[in-house]
Amino acid sequence: MKRIRYAVCGLSTRSIYHFVLPLLGKCDNGGANFSDRGEVVGVLDLDEGRVRTFCQKVGVNLPYYGPDDLPRMLAEQRPETVLVAGPDYTHGAHIVGGLRGGCDVITEKTMVVNCREAQEVRRAERESGRRLQVAFNYRYAPLHKRLKRLILDGRVGRITNVEFVYNLDTWHGSSYFYRWNRRRANSGGLNMHKCCHHFDLVNWWLGDVPEELFAYGALNYYGKNGALRPRDVQGRPLDPVEEKRRCPIFQKHYAGKLAPDDNDIRTGWDRFSLPYDAQYPPTQRRYIYDDEIDIEDTYSVVVRYRGGASMSYSFNACTPWEGYILGINGTAGRLQVVHHSNPDPTGLTAPAEAKTRITCFPLFGGQEVIEVPPVAGGHGGADGQIQHDLFVGPSAESRELALPAGSEAGALAVAMGEAVVLSMRNHRPYRMADLLADPPAAMPCGAAARSGDFNESGVCK
């Protein structure tokens, strides 16, 4: 069996656990290994020390390349596929460089941080003849696949509107305001980095193209004027150490675990405790109320779809519990979900429910409760199947449900993310066709997708 040569751009925590360890055959947490299918031939990253420490701890010797060394890595290592998993602002250059360098590319979501880059990516894909896959893993969660099947089976008829409320808890939500995401230049904002997850999910459920979007947004909890920021009796900011000591978020999740006088931002997800001093200098102040934070933590969005459906979407990055409330309404009934998750490694958030329930309400008649049991693995059991699709090829279920995503789906999600911030600033709706010079003519592999919608490689045509 031929093994694919993979080059990695960005040794993020997600990159390590989702791509690198499985390809090295070093996944020992119950996940699958794919070392019989591929090999890692080089790692490009801003921080050489982080890469060297990882190699030492894992017992491998991977060639290191600096952030501007993509052409040299491609020339020396001759990979067939480039894995892009660094900070979002690096994705565009690495995707385009990989495609034009003769490689296929797999990128973590968000594909890129703005529509200009999305257009450059799609142009490079067309002109190079290579293929881009976008790892929208949220499609693969068992709950979301079950909802897709119910829609395909006609349980709600023609979808008329979607109600989607998404909450991040105080641990997960605040973590974005420690990290590189806190600056729009790096992430495009949470409207791009986080909401694109959810926008793509609804686009896929509906099998439709979003046409127009209007949004409001604000920075309420974090940043220099954050509502939870401790102050002295005159209302002035405290010194950095005292601020952390009095901060309710620090007290809930980190007191007794992290020292308030340092800048440790460990998430609790990385068992290797790798340094990232190049990106997060230890001497640089970094907290959730810093002046440089320029993104929002709250959004309200309305979307109109080409087929006539609409969506109301709400996002809040500072709530008591994490998860979502979903309603999908149609001409034959309603699907309803209240889904709780618990990403908090401090263990101070209410535990996730053992199983999730989809309630199906026919328009005339009683209700049916459909239980979706939990599945082991990252992102609610999604990671194992998307890894199989990326490293081996789409399964029969993935083909049937149109789970694989390409640049068209990536570009639509990016256009929605950019429309959010533009609408907030200019107080008017935005059309996806106006933001993408070459918008997709239809949603590839949408609600009516079947095996004929895939090419010979198993990817959406």
CATH of the domain at 398: 3.30.360.10
Return d(Cα 118, Cα 417) in angstroms, integer. 12
Residue 455 pLDDT > 60, yes or no? no
Range of the domain at 57: 4-137
Quick one: tokens of 181?
């995401």
Each residue's pLDDT tens digit, 9-22: 999 999 999 999 99
pLDDT for res 415: 97
Residue (of 54, 41, 456) closest to 274 by Cα position: 54
Which of these three, 105, 137, 169, is where a domain ends? Answer: 137
From residue 419, alpha-carbon distances to 34, 311, 342 in Å are 38, 14, 30
pTM of the model: 0.92
pLDDT, average across residues 139-167: 97
Residue (of 92, 101, 106, 157) closest to 414 by Cα position: 92
Q: 178 with 321, same domain? A: yes
pLDDT, average across residues 115-123: 97
pLDDT, average across residues 236-243: 94
Q: 304 with 211, same domain? A: yes
**Cis previous bond, 110, omega within 30:** yes
pLDDT for res 341: 83
Whether 460 is in a domain gets the answer no
Cβ atoms within 10 A of the Cβ of 234, count? 5
Q: 333 with 391, same domain? A: yes
Number of domains in the chain: 2
For residue 446, what pLDDT band results from cuts at 50, 70 and 90? very low
Q: What is the mean pLDDT of the chain?
A: 90
pLDDT for res 461: 39
Q: 142 with 74, same domain? A: no
